[in-house]
Amino acid sequence: MSPRGEGVEGDGGWAWECDPSRVWVFGDMPPEQQELVGAVMEGLVDLAAMGIDPKDGSLYEDPQPMRLRTYEDEHLMLWYQTIPHRSRVYLKRVNL
């Protein structure tokens, strides 16, 4: 995985963005933590480009494809939305 950054498309034309804005989602979060979130988002974009959801398997068989999804690990919890027709993963909220 190469560091693409927000809004920079990968090989499959997919990218991630903050919704409604970067300031609203990140607020005054320190840069190191923003980098951690960016790395997780790049991984979610890579999975979405392959049609995979990390929790539920195939994005193609999802009965609610535009629902709000969550990702969590020992460092953070993210709320995001995958929109295939736009080739985007929208980051909605972050809890550290």
Q: pLDDT tens for residues 2-57?
A: 457 788 887 778 999 999 999 999 999 999 999 999 999 999 999 999 988 888 77
Write down the pLDDT at residue 72: 94
Q: Which domains does the chain have, with CATH numbers?
A: 15-95 (3.30.2310.20)
The pLDDT confidence band at residue 68, using thresholds 50, 70 and 90, is very high
Write down the pLDDT at residue 3: 58
DSSP letter for each residue of the chain: -----TT---TTS-EEEESS-HHHHHTT--HHHHHHHHHHHHHHHHHHHTTEETTTEESTT-SSTTSEEEEE-SS-EEEEEEEGGGTEEEEEEEE-
